[in-house]
Amino acid sequence: MKIIENSLLDDLQLLGLTLNEAKALIALIKLGSQADAPKIAQLSKVPRTKIYKVLEGLEERDIVNTSKIEGTANLYRLISPPDQIITDLCSNLVGPINDAAARSADTIVNLTSTLKDESEGIHQVWVIKGQSHITRILREQIENASIEIISNAFPVFIKQVLEALTKAQERGVDIKLIMLDEEVDQLPDKYRELLAKNITGVSFEHLSQFIDFIPEEFRDILQLFGELLLTRPNVLLIDPATSNAMAFLYLQSETDPEDITVLQVINQDFIAFTIKLMKLIYRFAGAAKVIQTHFTQE
């Protein structure tokens, strides 16, 4: 019983009462919702020198009222049933919080508008560490995408956000994933089938088998493509052609594959350059796919 009362005292303080007000309220409820100050002080263990001030506080909160009868001690009684008192305390607490939240939301929007006008003061690159932290931020940004997502990141990174990508695709977001065929095979069947039309996959192994049998000028292009594909920057672009463009550049440790750092970049020059590089790789992938299909069929 003592543990329950201690917990109740904690909860009542969270709802805005002082410790002594909470003690007096519990005592008054135990005494049948009506009693004089000395009895409340005795049961609540609130000193008599403080009990009247405490009861005045409860009266100001509209929890108790006082019956003053000449020649007798003042009686204090609860204005509402105990459960209604808790509801009222919650309302008194939540109301100002909701008002503050509404005011803060409006103010923050205005602050954001002000900052957009002072873009030179905004950091262009953020360093993100920690697998779960990285994944959470990536998912949030993909969920906010409205136009296009382009990625040539390795499967180890794409796997973490496959569900968010498929949902973006369902919303009508244009998705382009550039991978080797071998890498496409590493994706779970469910997501590979859903994203199949959005993946430009090329088999580097097959390309290398017939690269010696084509004219030298084409061979140079395919070799360049092969180098770009194997050493490609691991980048995921969100809405790259908009003012909200954002790039995520993955940096994977050579000594520890699980130790991943991501650069979140909003610098427009970097994004413009990255878009050109990605489109170049994407076109090579598409062209190579056609050549690969032609040779493998023959």
Assign 200 a pLDDT band (cuts: 50, 70, 90).
low
What was the pLDDT predicted at 42?
Answer: 92
What was the pLDDT predicted at 238?
Answer: 92
Dihedral sign (CA 207, 196, 139, 244) = positive
What Cα–Cα distance (Å) separates residue 85 from each residue in 29, 107, 110, 121, 160? 11, 33, 38, 50, 48
Assign 96 a pLDDT band (cuts: 50, 70, 90).
confident
What was the pLDDT predicted at 240?
Answer: 87
Flag whether pLDDT at 208 surpasses 70: no
What was the pLDDT predicted at 153?
Answer: 82
Alpha helices in 18-47 (DSSP H): 19-30, 37-44
Render pLDDT for 106-139 as a digit per residue (tens, 0 to 9). Answer: 776 666 555 455 445 557 888 888 778 888 898 9
Spatial separation of the C-alpha atoms in residues 194 and 177, rounded to whole Å: 12
Which token pair is 57? 């506080």
What was the pLDDT predicted at 215?
Answer: 65
Are 200 and 168 spatial neighbours (Cβ–Cβ below 8 Å)? no
What was the pLDDT predicted at 210?
Answer: 52
- Residue with token string 């900052």: 115
| Domain parsing of the chain, residue ranges | 2-86, 123-297
Render pLDDT for 126-173 as a digit per residue (tens, 0 to 9). Answer: 888 877 888 889 899 999 999 998 888 888 788 888 889 989 988 999
Which DSSP helix (H) or strand (E) runs through 91? helix 82-116
Are 7 and 1 spatial neighbours (Cβ–Cβ below 8 Å)? no
CATH number assigned to the domain covering 2-86: 1.10.10.10
Specify the higher pLDDT residue, 254 or 98. Answer: 98
Render pLDDT for 42-94 as a digit per residue (tens, 0 to 9). Answer: 999 999 999 999 999 998 888 998 887 666 678 888 988 888 888 888 888 77
Specify the higher pLDDT residue, 1 or 84. Answer: 84
CATH of 123-297 among 3.30.870.10, 3.20.20.10, 3.90.1200.10, 3.40.50.150: 3.30.870.10
Render pLDDT for 277-287 as a digit per residue (tens, 0 to 9). Answer: 777 776 666 66
- Minimum mean pLDDT range among 84-93, 190-199, 204-213, 281-290: 204-213
Spatial separation of the C-alpha atoms in residues 146 and 142, rounded to whole Å: 9
